[in-house]
Amino acid sequence: MTMRTMLLWCPDWPIVACGVDGPVAIMHANRVVACSAEARADGVRRGLRKRDAQARCPSLRVVEHDPGRDMREFEPVVAAVEQLVAGVAVLRPGVCAFAARGPSRYHGKSEEKAAEQIIEHVAVECGVEAQIGIADGAFAALLAARAGRVIAPGRTAEFLKDLPVSTLERPALADLLWRLGIRTLGQFAALPPSDVLARFGLDAALAQRLASGLDDRPLAVREPPPDLEVEERFDEPIERVDVAAFAARALAERLHERLAGHGLVCTRLAIAAVTAEGEQLHRVWRHDGVLTAVGISDRTRWQLEGWLTNRRLTSGILALRLIPDGVLAQVGLQPGLWGEAGAERDRAHRALHRIQGILGPDAVLTAILGGGRTPDQQATLVPWGDERVAGLPGGPWPGLMPLPAPPIVLPEAVDVEVLDLTQQGVRVNARLQLSGEPSWVVIDGATIEIVGWAGPWPVEEQWWGERAARFLRLQAMLADGRAVLLTLSRGRWSIRVDYD
């Protein structure tokens, strides 16, 4: 017998999770997998290629598909549902299901009233819009949630029978059934199950169960994550570094013991503090390995030292909380081939983290190579210990500067003048023809001869949007031995790259 199921559905969840307003499209493999209501109003649909979607909506903002981000943002919603309901199963980010019997008995004495209470609770706790569908089985409950309906017990098959076979979200099977003249779920459910299994295979047989209003498997109930945070409140506000160090060590040991009790280790640590004046302090420490009890203690002590000595707090710290922001199963970890060798490397990491604790996270930066057409776009500076994610994806990038890469990328472009043989400024017309041969470049008032040059190469970026950029590049060898990349944009020459 199919279980009576409630299913909570958050419309356009990937859009909600990315936190971007306006016309937005989530892309995966160069195709739209989700889009906002504003984008749909301009004709953007799932399955469109990126270029087609941008042609329909020139102001479209593109965000890469990130299932991890979607699940992280959905976690508070699931936690809010678990405050009212037991045995929640997460089907995918934005969708969770649970048995309808419990909520209907304890919240409102009916399924409809229980659903209203859960939706209101999620809206208050998380500020998220959600819909609940109720039917016999999770598949039908999802379709009921999208339609905003409650299907009476025993009427699920009747609700499903007129829906198209594409509702099964199995494109290959739906296309085959359509070509065979089977257009609705009711027609598919009416076929002999043995013939469906023999002709189409096991997956089609499971799909037929869904079309008949039966579940193909029971709900996999989610186990709520353990409470791993540790917190300490002090009778007297902490204002001295030595007292803070003692408190940090005790709290770090408590956190490490709690993690070990669950078979977990910490890779990312969030430190939060509240001062006697109510000021909220927060900092996340990341680590490329596993944080031991000593590592947690050191980072907590460094952070407290930084807050107490550099923030010039108007009052001492009254409460301290350690939050394991990233955890891994300890059983899945393994030391390197030569054990935990690398004491010098660990000392260097400790020194850099301590500098960050004193001067702030942006005091130590590391460079990450990514995509882009120009060398200054390919390097992204991120704080030491933060997630090493490049600003632009790797490519391919038509118009990419060829190797070798320049050793010097100036932090700011230097305006220059490029002159021809008659000491007139070199310009470029619409056909990319130079007004004269580049012969001299004026840098900071000094005129330097150009002994060789190549180009020009035009680049046009994001022609469809407000951030459209059009510029031209020219490589030049100077008489003083330097090689530079000259860029012409909006009638002005500049240097951002030096091959010296």
Asked if residue 255 lies in contact with residue 268, where contact means CB atoms within 8 angstroms, the answer is: no
Residue 318 placed within a domain:
yes
Q: How confident is the model at residue 493 (pLDDT cuts 50, 70, 90)?
A: confident
pLDDT score, position 399 = 66
Residues 206 and 234 in one domain: no
Q: Which two tokens stand for residue 16?
A: 């909600």
Whole-angstrom Cα distance, residue 43 to residue 136? 35
Residues 19 and 86 in one domain: yes
pLDDT at position 336 over 60: no
The CATH number of the domain holding residue 190 is 1.10.150
Q: How confident is the model at residue 342 (pLDDT cuts 50, 70, 90)?
A: very low
Q: What is the CA radius of gyration of the chain?
A: 30
Residues 168 and 134 in one domain: no
Residues 26 and 124 in one domain: yes
Highest mean pLDDT among 56-70, 395-409, 431-445: 56-70
- Nearest CA to 256 out of 335, 352, 330, 307 is that of 330
Residues 11 and 139 in one domain: yes
Residue 56 placed within a domain:
yes
Residue 367, H or E segment? strand 365-369
Task: Give the chain's mean pLDDT.
Answer: 80
pLDDT at position 333 over 50: no
Better-scored residue on pLDDT, 126 or 475 = 126
The CATH number of the domain holding residue 11 is 3.40.1170.60
Highest mean pLDDT among 104-108, 175-179, 335-339: 175-179
User: Which of the listed residues 372, 396, 420 is the one where a domain comes to its end?
Assistant: 396
If 0-12 CB within 10 Å is exposed, 13-18 middle and 19+ buried, where does residue 163 land?
middle
Highest mean pLDDT among 23-32, 229-238, 255-264, 309-318: 23-32
pLDDT score, position 131 = 92
Residue 479 placed within a domain:
yes
Q: What is the DSSP string of 135-200?
A: EESHHHHHHHHHHT-BPPTT-HHHHHTTSBGGGG--HHHHHHHHHTT--BHHHHHTS-HHHHHHHH
Residues 368 and 468 in one domain: no
Residue 218 placed within a domain:
no
30-38 contacts, C-beta under 8 A, 24 or more apart = 33/65, 36/12, 37/12
Q: Which of 85-99, 261-275, 395-409 has the lowest mean pLDDT?
A: 395-409
Residues 28 and 109 in one domain: yes
Residues 325 and 236 in one domain: yes
Q: How confident is the model at residue 25 (pLDDT cuts 50, 70, 90)?
A: very high
pLDDT score, position 329 = 66
Q: What is the DSSP string of 386-426?
A: S----SS-----TTPPPSSPPSEEEEEEEEEEEE-TTSPBP
Residue 388 placed within a domain:
yes
Highest mean pLDDT among 3-17, 350-364, 437-451: 3-17
Does pTM top 0.85 for this prediction?
A: no
Whole-angstrom Cα distance, residue 57 to residue 48? 12
Residue numbers of the domain that contains 200: 161-211
Contacts of 406 (CB under 8 A, 6+ apart): 375, 485, 497, 498, 499
Q: What is the pLDDT of residues 399-412, one digit of tens each?
A: 666 666 676 777 77
Q: How confident is the model at residue 328 (pLDDT cuts 50, 70, 90)?
A: low
Percentage of the chain beyond pLDDT 90 is 9
Residues 128 and 252 in one domain: no
pLDDT score, position 225 = 60
Residue 475 placed within a domain:
yes
The CATH number of the domain holding residue 305 is 3.30.1490.100
pLDDT score, position 365 = 80
Cβ count near 456 (within 10 Å): 19
Whole-angstrom Cα distance, residue 271 to residue 311? 15
Whole-angstrom Cα distance, residue 1 to residue 24? 42
Q: What is the pLDDT of residues 149-205, one digit of tens each?
A: 888 888 888 899 889 988 888 888 889 999 889 999 999 999 998 888 888 888 888
- Nearest CA to 153 out of 2, 329, 309 is that of 2
pLDDT score, position 454 = 77
Asked if residue 427 lies in contact with residue 421, where contact means CB atoms within 8 angstroms, the answer is: no
pLDDT at position 327 over 80: no
pLDDT score, position 132 = 92
Residues 438 and 383 in one domain: no
Question: What single DSSP character describes residue 224?
Answer: P
Residue 246, H or E segment? helix 241-261
357-364 contacts, C-beta under 8 A, 24 or more apart = 357/299, 357/302, 357/303, 357/305, 357/306, 358/302, 358/305, 358/306, 358/309, 358/310, 359/306, 359/310, 360/306, 360/310, 361/283, 361/385, 361/386
Residue 338 placed within a domain:
yes
Residues 182 and 126 in one domain: no
Whole-angstrom Cα distance, residue 118 to residue 17? 20
Give the distance, in angstroms, between the CA of residue 477 and the centroid of all CA atoms in the same chain.
43
The residue type found at 361 is P
Residues 78 and 52 in one domain: yes
Better-scored residue on pLDDT, 268 or 179 = 179
What φ, ψ does residue 410 adopt, rounded to 5°?
A: -70, 145
Q: Which two tokens stand for residue 371?
A: 């995509």
pLDDT at position 332 over 50: no
User: Which of the listed residues 124, 147, 170 is the one where a domain comes to its end?
Assistant: 147
User: Which of the listed residues 357, 386, 419 is the one where a domain comes to its end?
Assistant: 357
pLDDT score, position 286 = 65
The residue type found at 366 is T
Instruction: Note if the bond before 218 is cis, omega within 30 degrees.
Output: no
CA 34, 94, 116: angle at the middle one, nearest 5?
A: 125
Q: How many domains is the chain built from? A: 5
If 0-12 CB within 10 Å is exposed, 13-18 middle and 19+ buried, where does residue 100 land?
buried
Q: Which of 215-229, 367-381, 434-448, 465-479 has the lowest mean pLDDT?
A: 215-229
Residue 222 placed within a domain:
no
Q: What is the mean pLDDT of residues 77-106?
A: 83
Question: What single DSSP character describes residue 225?
Answer: P
Asked if residue 99 lies in contact with residue 6, where contact means CB atoms within 8 angstroms, the answer is: yes
Strand partners, 365: 383
Asked if residue 379 lies in contact with residue 368, where contact means CB atoms within 8 angstroms, the answer is: yes
